Amino acid sequence: MAVQRVKGRKPKHQRQIGTSPTGAFDCGPRSWQMGIDVQTGGLKRPGPTKLRKLARRTGSQTTRAEDADKAVEAFGGRLRGFKEPLRYRMKLRRPWEEAEKALRNRRAVHIAIDYGVVNRNKPEFSSQSDFDGGHSILLFGIRKARGAGARGWEIGVNDPLASRRRWWPLGLVRHAAGSIAGEPKTFYGGIFIPGLREVKDVDPPDTVEEAEEVPVSGAPQGPAEGEAVTDPGSEFPDDTVDDIEDNDSGITDGTLLDPQYPDDDPGPDEQGSLDGDVDPA
Q: Find the farthest-apart pair of alpha carbons in the chain and give their distance in angstroms, rounded.
A: 53
- At residue 216's C-alpha, the angle toward residues 214 and 221, to 5°, is 110
- The pLDDT value given to residue 78: 82
In this predicted model, what pLDDT tens digit does every residue of 245-258 receive, in sequence order?
Answer: 223 222 222 222 22
**Distance between alpha carbon 222 and the CA centroid of its chain, in Å?**
16
- Domains of the chain plus CATH, in order, are 23-270 (3.90.70.10)
Mean pLDDT over all residues of the chain? 77
Interatomic CA distance for residues 5 and 94, integer angstroms? 25
pLDDT band at 12 (very low <50, low <70, confident <90, very high): very high
The C-alpha atoms of residue 9 and residue 139 are separated, in whole angstroms, by 12
Taking only Cα atoms into account, the Rg of the chain, rounded to an integer number of angstroms, comes to: 17
Contact status, residue 68 vs residue 36, Cβ threshold 8 Å: no
- What's this model's pTM, rounded to 2 decimal places? 0.72
Query: For 182, left (φ over 0), alpha (ψ -120 to 50), or beta?
Result: left
Report the candidate in 238, 108, 117, 222 with the shortest Cα–Cα distance to residue 171: 117
Q: Give the whole-angstrom CA distance, residue 170 versus residue 186.
A: 13
Please tell me the least confidently modeled range out of 38-47, 88-97, 143-152. Answer: 143-152
Distance CA 95, CA 92 (A): 9
State the Cα–Cα distance between residues 183 and 181, nearest whole angstrom: 6
At 162, the amino acid letter reads A
Q: Strand order in 134-144's β-sheet?
A: 87-95, 186-193, 108-114, 134-144, 153-158, 166-169
